[in-house]
Amino acid sequence: MSLENPASKEATRRTALRLLAALGLYGIAMPARAADAPGWPDKAFKAKSQDDVLAALYGGKLEMSDKVSIETPEIAENGAVVPVSVSSKLTGVTSISILVPENPFALAASYKLSDASLPMVACRLKMAKTTKVIAIVEAGGKLYGASSDVKVTLGGCGG
Amino acid sequence: MMIRRLLTAAFAVACLAAAAPEPSGPKADQAAFQAYFFDKFPDVKHEDFGNGPYAVNAKMRKQWQEIMEFPPYDFALDEGKTAWETPFANGHHYADCFDNGGIGIRQTYPRFDAKTGQIVTLDGAINACRVQNGEKPLAYQTGMMASITAFMAESSRGKPFAIEIPNDPRALAAYEKGKEFFYSRKGQLGFACASCHVTGAGQRLRGDILAPALGILAAMPIYRSDWGSMGTTDRRFISCSSQTRALPYPAQDESYRDVEYFLAYMSNGIPITGPGTRP
Amino acid sequence: MKTLLLIGALTLLASPAFAATQAEAEAAVSAAKAEEARAIAAQSAWTPTEDALKSAAKALEAKDWMTAKANADEALALARRSIEQSVEQKSLWRDAVIR
Amino acid sequence: MPTIRMKAISSGDTTEVQALVQHPMDSGFVKDASGALIPAHHIETVIFEHNGKTVFTALWGPAVSKDPYLKFSFKGAAKGDTLSATWIDNMGKSDTGTGKIA
């Protein structure tokens, strides 16, 4: 999809939308709404890149680790519902975040664990296209990561 | 004695000769239909055909099993159960309209109705029940209709399809019309139901695995991730029509009811799995 | 591909040299509508025919006779083809039956 | 109709919780039939509490699937205990549901 392709009005329009979104102007099209829920990290959820999410959410450096495991399907049956589960062998885990860098906003979900929690979580996420999925586990103030690839194809005449 | 035996043999040969070129009729159709799928998917257990694409693709099956840990149709099931237990304004219930109080009977629909000479689907029977009790009919494609059929299907899980074609020329005619519909190419793309769900069954089309026609109705109604909601058999038929660029018929159109009758009869013996989830 | 060729041909026909009058456009639209009604009755209508008819109706409203006629002619051709399909399938479907 | 369904099963000291919440989770990137963007409408937080203590908190963006599903585990609860879940979305709507640990 290139900007130079004059035939692709739709692509241009979508790019324009994305630019608007990037500039933060996207919000003006929204109806007035209540303030975000207390404790919801607005900045992290609006970040476009993995680095920006890390900076907004943790401010630390990520180290890939085999003590973190992430499980995703190789081929998503539908990008709207992709099962993702993350677990870790680390102790003292305080949070688990899941990033989908190819989505418009990189951070999909972040979980705050308690003293009673076991270091695992499973959920279902939307993925716009074929992407890496990154799990970030925070333990003892440090960040450990693992990643996995998901192939996303279009839905259509099935079922 | 000798002559008699010869005559019997001759008669048998004559019968064979008459039948050999083309065994026909619903029974023969059903045997050939099921043999085709059992042969095409030798590793799939027969009772598993009601699980559609998940029966024939191991990778998708795993995702499905994860999703089935807490299936997204649970809310619809709850809604259906509540509606089932709530009396109509006249004090009657859905249960009063059906055999066995409506429990464990999904596998016997669609049925031929000798009074009208028409095929009655489960969805049609639910609305007939409502109208009979002074209630407005429900919209056919999604919402409450899907919730109630989900509840009824769940109560019938594991019961094999048991569709009857009574000895009535009108029932046979409906079956034949359904069969013709199933195999006729339609729409600008020139696809028949059979193009995707017989010839193409198990293959990928734009990322989706095409479900085998055998048992395809056993999972109805379904929660499709693609829809993000529940849908009935009508919704699936209508979307199939649109996908082939054929102008869809109205829900419960005679053609759709007939093809449902044909398809369900072809699946006799395949257990009900509904409600289901699909990509 | 056929549709593309058809559209190409129609575009040629719709060039100024062949500019349609209001009467021609209206006649083309009603002919297409009649044919589509037959297709619907035969349960063999196609969605692109409906789309072309909608575009034709819009063009009529906008008094764009040329576009209206082009869209109507496309709809007519599609409706005819869809009826032909159903006639062919009356016998062809039997070849697809699992035996 | 309740918007939260929970299944909490204890085995030994560990309780495995599965929850399904009914919510559109509109991303803000999808258009409706008329071509207009459907505004973002998604859950932002879900808080799970046991005996008045928060045991797990989910922070969600618009990329969480419609009718969200969540599974987690925690220690220290017993069969028969009540677990509660409260969600709040970006439009200020919220709901609380409870489930018995089995």
Examine residue B42 and say whether the peptide bond preceding it is cis (omega within 30 degrees of 0).
no
- Minimal C-alpha gap between D1 and chain A (Å): 23
User: HSE on the CB side for A50, CA within 13 Å?
Assistant: 15
- Minimal C-alpha gap between B74 and chain C (Å): 35
A83 contacts in B (CB within 8 Å)?
A: 63, 66-67
Per-domain residue ranges of chain B: 25-279
- For residue A17, the model assigns a pLDDT of 41
Asked if D56 has any chain A CB less than 8 Å from its own CB, the reply is yes
Per-domain residue ranges of chain A: 1-33, 43-152
Subunit contact D7:B72, Cβ cutoff 8 A: no
For chain D, domains (ranges, CATH) are 4-27+40-100 (2.60.40.10)
Subunit contact C47:B246, Cβ cutoff 8 A: yes
Touch between chain A and chain D: 3 or more Cβ pairs under 8 Å = yes
Q: Clarify whether B129 is annotated catalytic.
A: no
CA gap A134, D23 in Å, rounded: 25
Asked if C99 has any chain B CB less than 8 Å from its own CB, the reply is yes
Domain B25-279 has CATH 3.90.550.10: no
Asked if B69 has any chain D CB less than 8 Å from its own CB, the reply is yes
- For residue B212, the model assigns a pLDDT of 95
How far does chain A reach from its first CA to its final CA, in angstroms? 30
Asked if B257 has any chain A CB less than 8 Å from its own CB, the reply is no
Q: Which residues are CB-neighbours of C49 under 8 A, at least 6 positions away?
A: B247, C32, C36, C39, C75, C78, C79, C82
DSSP D35: S
A75 contacts in B (CB within 8 Å)?
A: 59, 207
**Could you tell me the pLDDT band of residue D36, with boundaries at 50, 70 and 90?**
confident
Residues of chain A with confidence (pLDDT) below 50 = 1-33, 155-159
3-state class of B10 per DSSP? helix
- Chains meeting D at 3+ CB pairs closer than 8 A? A, B
Residues of chain B with confidence (pLDDT) below 70 = 1-23
Does residue B269 contact residue B46 with C-beta atoms inside 8 Å? yes
Suggest the residue from B191, B244, B245, B254 to mutate for an interface test with chain C (most C CBs closer than 10 A): B245
Subunit contact A156:B224, Cβ cutoff 8 A: no
Angle between helices B254-266 and B169-183 (to 10 degrees): 90
**CA–CA–CA angle D78, D96, A86 (5° rounding):** 65
DSSP B92: -
B147 contacts in D (CB within 8 Å)?
A: none
B90-141 pLDDT tens trace: 999 999 999 999 999 999 999 999 999 999 999 999 999 999 999 999 999 9
- Minimal C-alpha gap between C81 and chain B (Å): 9
Subunit contact B247:C50, Cβ cutoff 8 A: yes
- Transcribe chain A into DSSP letters: --TT-TT-HHHHHHHHHHHHHHTTGGGGGSPP-PPPPTT--HHHHH--SHHHHHHHHT-S-EEE-TTEEEE--SEES-TTSEEEEEEES-SSEEEEEEE-TTSSSSEEEEEEE-TTEEEEEEEEE--SSSEEEEEEEEETTEEEEEEEEEEE----S--
Q: What is the CATH number of domain A43-152?
A: 2.60.40.2470
The two beta strands, B276-278 and B222-224, are parallel
- Chains meeting B at 3+ CB pairs closer than 8 A? A, C, D
- Minimal C-alpha gap between B229 and chain A (Å): 12
- For residue C64, the model assigns a pLDDT of 94
- Chains meeting C at 3+ CB pairs closer than 8 A? B
Subunit contact D67:B72, Cβ cutoff 8 A: yes
- Among B129, B193, B196, B240, the active-site one is B240
Chain D residue nearest residue A10, CA to CA: D35
Residues of chain C with confidence (pLDDT) below 70 = 1-19
ipTM field:
0.75
B140-150 pLDDT tens trace: 999 999 999 99
Among B228, B220, B205, which Cα is nearest to B51's? Answer: B220
- For residue D42, the model assigns a pLDDT of 95
- For residue D33, the model assigns a pLDDT of 79
Chain C residue nearest residue B179, CA to CA: C97
Suggest the residue from D9, D20, D30, D73 to mutate for an interface test with chain B (most B CBs closer than 10 A): D20
The pTM of the full predicted model, rounded to 2 decimals, is 0.80
Subunit contact B243:A156, Cβ cutoff 8 A: yes
Touch between chain D and chain B: 3 or more Cβ pairs under 8 Å = yes
